[in-house]
Structure 1
Amino acid sequence: MILKSPAISRVLLVRPGATEFDDQGRIKGSMDMPMSETGRRQAETLADQISHFRCRTIHTAPCESARETAEMLAEGRGAKVKVIEAFRNLDHGLWHGKLIDELKRNHPKLYRRGQESPWDICPPGGESIGDAQVRVVKAVRKLLKKNHDELITIVIPDPMAWIVQNLLSGETLSNLWKAETDSAKWDLIEPIMD
């Protein structure tokens, strides 16, 4: 699925600073965790890197690391922070807290599917990437429509950021496991137009 914007807009998609689970290579998913010391330093660097972008509102996922990052980005910019519940991260069910290397070692076929075609993977007690996409599409469409002529800033952790980036740019999803531990980076996206 590709989201098409009704007018020209740009999206600044920001991954929050790392948590302890990110630092350890663990699957965090929808667990609510603060940033680690590394994550706080990363968020400070992010704030410097994107300081030249002007935004009125920073839309953020409800998790603590995303909210902390959004607050750091908003500081001194006159921007407000708005939590969007639909941006909560992918629910990895029973995989929460597991090392990615542990999944690779104990479930090599599943790990390979996560690299090659992650759409239909659904952890026990969790949600599939397809279900997460359905959940986030409405919120992203609403932001594009409401803010069609200004920069839209979103702070959202991976793998949900990875899903949103795919929706906006039309990129093919691949390698769920790399996306699981990406943090403290940003992309400027011009959504594909009608």
Structure 2
Amino acid sequence: MPRILLIRHGQTEWNRRGIFRGRADVPLSPTGVRQMEALAARVAAERPARVYTSPLQRARASAQILCPEGAQPPQVVEGLTDMSYGEWEGKPEETVRDQYPDLYARWLAEPHQVRPPGGESLAEVQQRAAAALREISRALPTATVAVVAHRVVNKLLLCAALGLGAEGFWRVRQDTGCLNVLEGEADRLAVVLLNDTCHLQGLEGDAADF
């Protein structure tokens, strides 16, 4: 049975400043690099057979840090890429709240009913991310693998495993640099560990669910 180490990438400056990222290809901050180094030390004993990653550089850089010396390079999986926020991307949360007051209020109350202008819905993200995770699970059905993705992608994968649906989006936290563990068959994954950040204690800068 597969064991999936589902990881959120390390901090970026846009996370720290509360700016919507989505498909904007922002790099890790120095704190984000340290977060991933701490996580790499944490999961080293797991010896993942492969590391899979979103194509965005904040995830790819995180995945590379997780790869032990001499291991295969991270494998990019397009279905793990972050949600497209459309017109919200690159804007601080307070700007989005001011420019789209009604839509943003619905995003906070009923995120599964909202599509940012020019962006994706949670259902669309969940569908492609779940398909990607199934392919990963079936490719290495008895191995431990690491999967590095994004806040929205991880939340939706965890919601699916917990039976919450996309409407449970705000009931799951995903801090930067966090570790989740899933085990089981591809379509019946159990959540063993959720949003664990104990490896980040003592690092400068707090992990954040944004």
User: Do 2:5 and 2:180's aligned partners in 1 also have CA atoms closer than 8 Å?
Assistant: yes
User: Do 1:56 and 1:80's aligned partners in 2 also have CA atoms closer than 8 Å?
Assistant: no
Shift of 1:58: 0.2
Shift of 1:149: 1.1
Counterparts of residues 5-24 of structure 1 (less than 5 Å): 8-24=1-17
Partner of 2:150: 157
Bigger relative contact order, structure 1 or 2, given CA contacts below 8 A and separation 6+? 1
Q: Which runs of 5+ in 2 are unaligned?
A: 191-210
Partner of 1:4: none
Q: CA offsets, 1:96-143, max 9 Å, x none?
A: 011123334554543343233211211111111111122222211111
1:47 aligns with 2:64: no
Shift of 1:79: 4.6
Amino acid at match of 1:162: K
Counterparts of residues 132-151 of structure 1 (less than 5 Å): 132-151=125-144
Instruction: Select the residue among 104, 120, 126 that pairs with 1:127.
Output: 120
Q: Tell me the secondary structure at the aligned position of residue 124 of structure 1.
A: coil
Shift of 1:150: 1.4
Shift of 1:185: 0.7
Partner of 1:166: 159
Structure 1 length-normalised TM: 0.84
- Deviation beyond 6 Å, 4+ runs, structure 1: none
Partner of 2:74: 81
Partner of 1:117: 110
More off after superposition, 133-142 vs 32-41: 133-142
Instruction: Select the residue among 170, 173, 183 that pairs with 1:175.
Output: 170
What is the distance in 1 between the residues matched to 2:148 and 2:40?
A: 12
Amino acid at match of 2:47: R
State the percentage of identical aligned residues.
28
| Aligned CA-pair RMSD | 2.4
Structure 2 length-normalised TM: 0.78
More off after superposition, 90-99 vs 70-79: 70-79
Q: Tell me the secondary structure at the aligned position of residue 41 of structure 1.
A: helix
User: Do 1:169 and 1:190's aligned partners in 2 also have CA atoms closer than 8 Å?
Assistant: no
Q: CA offsets, 1:8-49, max 9 Å, x none?
A: 322110111111111111100111111011111111111122
Amino acid at match of 2:8: R
Q: Which runs of 5+ in 1 are unaligned?
A: 1-7
Q: Tell me the secondary structure at the aligned position of residue 169 of structure 2.
A: coil
Q: Tell me the secondary structure at the aligned position of residue 67 of structure 1.
A: helix
Counterparts of residues 96-111 of structure 1 (less than 5 Å): 96-111=89-104
What is the distance in 2 between the residues matched to 1:70 and 1:37?
A: 15
